[in-house]
Amino acid sequence: MQILLRDDDTNYFTSVEELRRVYEPIWDDAPAALAVVPFQTGCKSRAIPAEMRESTETHPIGENEELVSFLRTQIDRGRVRILLHGYSHEDFPDGWEFEKCPNPHERVREGKAYLEELFDTEISTFVPPHNSLSRQCAKAVADEGLDILTAFGHWPWERSISTQNLRNFLRLSAFRLRHGKDRRLPEKLDFGTHAEWPSYTLVEDVPAPEVATGLEFARKRRGDACVAYHYWELLQEDLLEDFHDLVHDWGQRKGVEFVTDEELFV
């Protein structure tokens, strides 16, 4: 079984020490896919200081030189893969960034190019802020050649009209009817223009044993899985311990291989 560790919200305000606390105990066993915000602005997120959450000021991640240098080293060592996590992660009055932004193609193109040059790496996967993605924005992502990591899947009107979209939605619906809303399809959805993979989420109100149950469900079906979380949320001691146990204890006992996004989408 293969598992991808997907960590959302790395941005200008992220500290090297925060990432060290989360990853140093596991990095030799499991790479991390960091969903990075290229040009962070104010938004409702604990990934940025409280006093900045109403700000319209833009903070390019490249201006945090210590963080960039640290991540470049981890990329070279095979410990980190960079994913594109929106453009600014900003909140619009009527929705999240990649539900309501007026120029999604430009945001994807510019954000991807900026991170690829900054970290001297190729980016092939997109993570929508708040796991929310409109039809227009999904097309913008696919047009730039990126696959997508989601939370639960999609509604048919959230993707381009096509036979594959309908087929994928019917497949997801049948899966949910049979196994319930707490289980994720243990394989990718192929849309032709791109692929998508739903994720289990390890957060404050979803205990680690519940996530492990979902992963065991996938393993017994000879499938693979993605686990999504936030580094800043894992900094709570109990949740951090649960995360490390999930990788070391459960993962090692089950013979799991922790992989990159490129490997998961093969």
Report the percentage of the chain scoring pLDDT > 70.
100
The pLDDT value given to residue 191: 93
pLDDT tens for residues 188-239?
A: 999 999 999 999 999 988 888 999 999 999 999 999 999 999 999 999 888 9
What tokens were used for 144?
């730039």
pLDDT band at 98 (very low <50, low <70, confident <90, very high): very high
pLDDT band at 153 (very low <50, low <70, confident <90, very high): confident
33: β partners: 6, 81
For residues 38-54, give the mean pLDDT.
94
The pLDDT value given to residue 230: 97
Domain ranges of the chain: 2-264
CA dihedral 111, 112, 113, 115 (to 10 degrees): 80
The pLDDT value given to residue 72: 98
The pLDDT value given to residue 155: 79
The pLDDT value given to residue 112: 98
- Residue 117 pLDDT greater than 90, yes or no: yes
The pLDDT value given to residue 23: 98
**What's the rounded Cα separation, in Å, for the pair 82 and 183?**
26
CATH value of 2-264 in 3.40.50.2300, 3.40.50.720, 3.20.20.370, 3.30.360.10: 3.20.20.370
The pLDDT value given to residue 73: 98
pLDDT tens for residues 60-71?
A: 999 999 999 999
For residues 125-129, give the mean pLDDT.
97
pTM of the model: 0.96
pLDDT band at 127 (very low <50, low <70, confident <90, very high): very high
Task: Write the single-letter amino acid at 97.
Answer: E
- Residue 157 pLDDT greater than 90, yes or no: no
pLDDT band at 142 (very low <50, low <70, confident <90, very high): very high
Report the percentage of the chain scoring pLDDT > 90.
90
For 225, half-sphere exposure in the C-beta direction (CA atoms, 13 angstrom radius) is 24
By residue count, the chain amounts to 266
**What's the rounded Cα separation, in Å, for the pair 261 and 56?**
32
- Residue 121 pLDDT greater than 90, yes or no: yes
The CA-atom distances, in angstroms, between 6 and each of 66, 138, 169, 173, 230 are 22, 19, 23, 24, 8
